[in-house]
Amino acid sequence: YMACLWSVWSCWHWGNDRPSWCSSGNSNSHQFTLDPNTAHKRLRLSEGNRAVTYTDTPQPYPDHPDRFDSYRQVLCRESVSGRCYWELEWSGSDVGISVSYKSISRKRSGYDRVFGFNDQSWSLFCSPSNFLFWHNNKQTKLPVSSSCRRIGVYVDHSAGTLCFYSVSDTMNLIHTVQTTFTQPLYPGFNVWGHQSSAKLL
């Protein structure tokens, strides 16, 4: 928790000279892209593979061993290393903002394949009615305003720290996790709601 508070303080304390990992808009920050080879066929990627939208029309993706077959999920190409901060916007309903090990199961049905429902992934589920954090099939309900549509994610991989923020004119901590990460982490999305979408900023 203190690590997350420190990251918030440092982001705002440094102003225009704040460290690059604090700002997704900084030219030196890590720019993630979604991996088409992992995208479920009911997810449409756009904007240079930085946006994803639920679609009723199956996309003509080829079969691939990395593709999520049963659940509308997608992972980024790039893994998180060191300290990393990124932002995204979501719209519609029922979008999961996740980080996951690459080893998560992709094939066949079963909720243990869903981000947040196993010990290999962590997910913030956002909807107009509530915000829920999921890990290892355990749910935590969070007191977040339904108007929160911009989310910041901070990871310190070596320290085992994961933080989610609501971002507007101010930056407010939503939830923090302190654990031990045993593999590289990959950002990803679950897009459950009809016509819902998410966009990396």
Residue 13 confidence (pLDDT) above 50:
no
Mean confidence (pLDDT) of the chain:
86
The pLDDT tens digits for 96-120 are: 999 999 999 988 777 888 999 999 9
What would the two tokens of residue 60 be?
């003509």
The pLDDT tens digits for 44-88 are: 999 999 999 999 999 999 999 999 999 999 999 999 978 899 999
Domain boundaries, the chain: 2-200
Question: What is the C-alpha separation between 73 and 172, in angstroms, rounded?
Answer: 27
**How much is the pLDDT for 15?**
37
State whether CATH 2.60.120.920 applies to domain 2-200.
Answer: yes
pTM above 0.85, yes or no: yes
List the beta strands (DSSP E) in the chain: 43-46, 51-54, 73-75, 83-91, 95-101, 121-126, 131-135, 138-142, 150-156, 161-167, 171-178, 185-191, 197-200
The pLDDT tens digits for 152-188 are: 999 999 999 999 999 988 888 999 999 999 999 999 9
